[in-house]
Structure 1
Amino acid sequence: MKTRRIGQTGLEVSEVSFGAAALGGLYRACPREQAMETLSAAWDAGIRYFDVAPWYGLGLGERHVGDFLRGKPETEWVLSTKVGRLLRPVPTGTVPDYSYVDPLSFDADYDYSYDGIMRSVEFSYARLGLNRIDILYVHDLGGYTHGAERNAVHLRHFLDSGIRALEELKSSGAIKAFGLGVNEVPVCIDVMTNADIDCILLAGRYTLLDRTAVAELLPLCRRKGTSLVVGGVFNSGILATGPVPGSHFDYMPANDDVLAKVGQMEAVASKHGVPLAAPALQFALRDPLVSSVLIGTARASSLERNMKLLSPAIADSIFPEFDNFTLVAPPLGAEAVRV
């Protein structure tokens, strides 16, 4: 698989990457054997960049990914995980419902400070069982997760000291790049106004349907040399399933406006003889600012099906036909499960 560079670093990642949220049991259990089968399918498809987080299954996702990569040549894979939440043990059966099924017996506390980020990295090494993390993303800063008042506190902690932890880790060679892992644009602007970052893992805001990132964030990234890793390309499923009953957008049932627009997009795709999921997956990769497109699943069959959507390449001339049906800045559901 082709690779692209992260920001202005020397780090190259595969154009398609694997997101491990589902391996943490998001919405349905993911036993170890199933996780290994899915990761093997990703590897066999040429994916060499794997993204995980302590949040995914409250440590379970990191354990699965670490177990898998430990048996692979160290020079062939790239790994990112996230900071911003510290896990602490809780009694069995008392884990709050975060939409993860059969998670490990931990809860999470937010900490974006220097000490919190350094502790998070050490804990991730232990859960992964690996001695290398290539990229660190600051997870879920922003008003959607915390509300405006609380986010102001977290943002101050990060800019006052947390960013220094990431800079030290990079300058020491412990990591090769760092950035944000979020579902929203405003916090990206806030951070980039005050600090330089290598990359942003942005979910759901630069897709065939949702172009929220286009007006302000993309030009800023181009000026500052910051790459995007784009997640949520199917916007919680609706760009893969189409506007069928029960389809979801931003982790919630799609409203009538979204259903109508996706129906019109589906008609465009059908006219050109392709499933809507194909242009949805290929859309962001048309932009050289995008280093990788992240796909996530807990089933090998789903992974293999999605990889087939990358070929053949859809002609650039088709994509403008979708532009009249986009949502520019839709609200994110208050109870959304973050990437």
Structure 2
Amino acid sequence: MKTRRIGKTELAVTEVSFGAAALGGLYRACPREQAMETLDAAWDSGIRYFDVAPWYGLGLAERRVGDFLRDKPEAEWVLSTKVGRLLRPVPTGTVPDYSYVDPLCFDADYDYSYDGIMRSVEFSYARLGLNRIDILYVHDIGGYTHGAARNAVYLKQFLDSGVKALEELKSSGAIKAFGLGVNEAPVCLDVMRNADIDCILMAGRYTLLDRTAVAELLPLCRQKGTSLVVGGVFNSGILATGAVPGSNFDYMPATEDVLARVRGMEAIASKHDVPLAAPALQFPLRDPIVASVLIGTAKASSLNRNMALFAPPLPETIYPEFDNYTLVAPPLGDEAVRV
């Protein structure tokens, strides 16, 4: 599989990467054997970049990804995990419901400080059972997760001290790159205007349907040499399932407006005799600022099905036809506008 470089670093990642949230039991149980079969399928497909986080199954996904990579040739794989949440043990039966089924017995506290980030890295090493982490993402900072008032506190905490921890880890060689792992553009702009970062793992905001990262974030990334890793390309499923009853957009039931837009996109895909999922998967990689498209699943069959949709490349002429159905970037602080 082809690779692309992360920012201005020497680190290269495969154009398709694997996101391990589902291996932590997101929304449904994922037995260990099933998790390992899925990781095997990813490796066999040529994927060599794996992304995980302490949040995924409250440590469970890190353990599984670490176990999988431990026996793989070290020079071949790239691993990212995340900071910003510290796990602490809780009694059996008292784990809060964070939509993970059968997670480990932990709860999570937000901490974007220097000490919090350094502790998080040490805890991740222990869960992974590995001696190397290549990329660290600051996880879920921003108003999308915390609300504006609370996020102002966390953003100050990160800019005042947390970013120093990441800079020290990179300068020491402990990591090769760092950035943000978020679902929104505004916090990326806030951070990038105050600090240099190598990459952003952006979920759901640079997709065939949702282009809210295009107006301001992508130009700033080009200016600063910051790479994007694009997750959530199906926008919580609707670009894979189509506008069917019960389909979700942005983790919520799709509105009638979104359903209508996706029906229009489905008609275009049908005219070209391709499933809508194919242009959804291929769309982000058209931009050289995108280093990788992250796909996540807990089923080997689903992973293999999605990988098949990357080939052959679709003609460039298909993409402008989708533009009239997209959601585009609003002024900061407003909701997405429809065109």
Quick check: TM above 0.5?
yes
- Cα distance in structure 1, aligned partners of 2:202 and 2:29: 25
Tell me what 2:115 maps to.
Answer: 115
1:137-170 Cα shifts (integer Å, max 9, x gaps): 0000000111111100100000000000000000
List structure 1 segments (4+ residues) > 2 angstroms apart after TM superposition.
none
Using structure 2 for the length normalisation, give the TM-score.
0.97
- SS of structure 1 residue aligned to 2:328: coil
Kindly report which structure 2 residues correspond to 1:266-285, keeping only aligned pairs within 5 A, or say none: 266-285=266-285
Give the percent of matched residue pairs that are identical in Structure 1 and Structure 2. 86
Tell me what 2:41 maps to.
Answer: 41
Using structure 1 for the length normalisation, give the TM-score.
0.97
- Cα distance in structure 1, aligned partners of 2:245 and 2:309: 23
How many residue pairs were aligned?
A: 330
Tell me what 2:97 maps to.
Answer: 97
- Cα distance in structure 2, aligned partners of 1:238 and 1:149: 31
Tell me what 1:259 maps to.
Answer: 259
Gaps of 5+ in 1: 331-339
Tell me what 1:181 maps to.
Answer: 181
Tell me what 1:333 maps to.
Answer: none
1:71 is displaced (CA, Å) by 1.2
- Cα distance in structure 2, aligned partners of 1:149 and 1:267: 42
Kindly report which structure 2 residues correspond to 1:125-204, keeping only aligned pairs within 5 A, or say none: 125-204=125-204
Tell me what 1:307 maps to.
Answer: 307
1:310 counterpart letter in structure 2: F
| Mapped contact 2:210–2:327 kept (Cα < 8 A) | yes
- Cα distance in structure 2, aligned partners of 1:254 and 1:328: 17
| Mapped contact 2:203–2:231 kept (Cα < 8 A) | yes
1:192 is displaced (CA, Å) by 0.2
- Cα distance in structure 2, aligned partners of 1:224 and 1:181: 17
- Cα distance in structure 2, aligned partners of 1:319 and 1:76: 33
Kindly report which structure 2 residues correspond to 1:23-34, keeping only aligned pairs within 5 A, or say none: 23-34=23-34
- Cα distance in structure 2, aligned partners of 1:200 and 1:256: 31
- Cα distance in structure 2, aligned partners of 1:250 and 1:113: 29
- Cα distance in structure 2, aligned partners of 1:197 and 1:87: 25
Tell me what 2:15 maps to.
Answer: 15
Tell me what 1:65 maps to.
Answer: 65
| Mapped contact 2:215–2:329 kept (Cα < 8 A) | no
1:326 is displaced (CA, Å) by 0.3
1:201 counterpart letter in structure 2: L
1:329 is displaced (CA, Å) by 4.5
- Cα distance in structure 1, aligned partners of 2:329 and 2:209: 10
- SS of structure 1 residue aligned to 2:312: coil
Gaps of 5+ in 2: 331-339
What is the RMSD computed on CA atoms of the aligned residues?
0.6
- SS of structure 2 residue aligned to 1:144: helix
1:100-152 Cα shifts (integer Å, max 9, x gaps): 00000000000000000000000000000000000000000000111111100
Tell me what 2:82 maps to.
Answer: 82
2:170 counterpart letter in structure 1: K
